[in-house]
Amino acid sequence: MTAKRRYLMCRPTHFAVTYRINPWMDPTAPYDNALAVRQWANLRQAFLDLGHTVEEIDPLPGLPDMVFAANGGTIVDGRALGVQFRDAERADEAPAYAAWFRESGFEVEMPKHDNEGEGDILLAGDVLLAGTGFRTSHASHAETQEFLRRPVITLQLVDPAYYHLDTALCVLDETNIAYLPSAFSPGSQAVLRQLFPNAIIATSEDAAVLGLNAVSDGHNVVLPVQAEHLTEALRKAGYNPIGVDVSELRKAGGGPKCCTLEVRA
């Protein structure tokens, strides 16, 4: 079922690829800031066209990855868990997002362990799927459960290319997901098969264009237009895939979901 959503986004005014903190980033390759802004604006418009609410946080100079709002926190039931980034290059994003949460009236708590927000913490029905292995520490999962008051299911990521959970798994609705099995440890694959027996299995080609870094409202799924196999699989499963091109932002390792933090009052 389609539900109207509230999203927080950050315009990529200062987007650049000047350092390397994930396998997608190449500081020696050219990037186009103006194109990144246009692609981001088209993504924002896609959400508005679907009837969703989009709010914006002001981008700060010197923080080229601040566009990836999903990493700014996790908001569930009006409680906002802030973030602690693994990499120093992104550290100053954490207080900026926490300030927005406070100004918007949310109860805010900052984690004591590395935690990169909805990059690794995804609400799926009544539970939180929590990734670990590269960015978000396993120790943070206990903090997440305690503050957000939802059961947490730990999932071990094993492929450096899919360093955040939201690059390897998309929550489609309250009962189903799409994911790339090879991005997870054998034990985590078994857990996902048990929890989501009807999951859509993505191909390596889908994942290679960050096709799983998608945003679903329960029916409409906004995903990279280059993920052709996943688009067709979603359509066959009864979802409405909406393709967008955010390939310039992919040069920093991000897609539609990375740019989108869901605000759950």
The strand pairing partners of 155, in sequence order, are: 131
The strand pairing partners of 241, in sequence order, are: 221
What amino acid occupies position 242? I
Of 10, 170, 258, 259, the active-site residue reads: 258
Q: Catalytic: 258? A: yes
Using CA atoms, how far residue 97 sits from 55, 83, 92, 193, 249, in Å, is: 13, 9, 9, 34, 20
Q: Catalytic: 113? A: no
The count of other CB atoms within 10 Å of the CB of residue 153 is 17
240-244: strand order across its sheet: 215-216, 220-224, 240-244
Of 52, 141, 164, 259, the active-site residue reads: 164
Instruction: Pick the closest to residue 166 from 195, 130, 209 (CA basis).
Output: 130
Q: Which residues are catalytic?
A: 164, 258
